[in-house]
Amino acid sequence: MTLADYIEIETTRDELIRACKQAADLIRTRVDYKYILVLLFLKRLSDEWKREYNEALKTLLEKGLSKEEAENFAKDRSFHRFEYPERYTWEELRKNINELPVRLSEALKLLAEKNPELQGVVDRLDFLEFTRHRDNFDILVQLFELFSGLILEERVIASSVMLMNG
């Protein structure tokens, strides 16, 4: 467990660059960089879905819905840019590291099916094939944990880009 498991700390541009450099060091000469990109993209989608869910939940509760009703409605596609199955959020994937390659493959396939604009983006790599080698499984777990410390919501990324241009 890391501090990020207990509190949310916004990701700065420097933290994102540092995480990418650490990820590159982990895979150097052993793994295709595309695995890093897909994992970062998945983390971004998951974080943004979670943010949209929390905003919708707050709005629905303010409108007088019960907590249970609000929680169910907040998952509706109309509140989200992408359809993202809750069982495959980053936090859910992280709960069982031993099943990570299987669950990642399922998540990416389902995301591509539910969001045609993501076809060919998130479903290009096979994490099951990738982790047939034990060393690659260990690398995947390390990458997953490294990226778990980042918050990649749109507002955080946008503010980091503003800092780059400022």
- Assess if residue 43 is contained within a domain: yes
d(CA 144, CA 123): 17
CATH number at residue 28: 1.20.1260
- Assess if residue 68 is contained within a domain: no
- Assess if residue 64 is contained within a domain: no
pLDDT number for residue 84: 94
pLDDT digits 0-9 by tens, 18-64: 877 777 776 665 677 888 899 999 999 999 999 999 999 999 999 99
CA-based nearest residue to 53, from 157, 153, 159: 153
- Assess if residue 144 is contained within a domain: yes
- Assess if residue 67 is contained within a domain: no
pLDDT number for residue 121: 87
pLDDT digits 0-9 by tens, 110-151: 999 999 999 988 888 889 998 998 889 999 999 999 899 888
pLDDT digits 0-9 by tens, 55-98: 999 999 999 999 999 999 999 999 999 999 999 999 999 999 99
Q: Max alpha carbon distance in the chain (Å)?
A: 55
- Assess if residue 32 is contained within a domain: yes
pTM of the model: 0.79
- Assess if residue 78 is contained within a domain: no
d(CA 121, CA 127): 14
Count of domains forming the chain:
1
**Mean per-residue pLDDT of the chain:** 85
- Assess if residue 3 is contained within a domain: no
Looking at the predicted structure, is the pLDDT value of residue 10 above 70? no
| Domain of 140, in residue numbers | 12-47+83-149
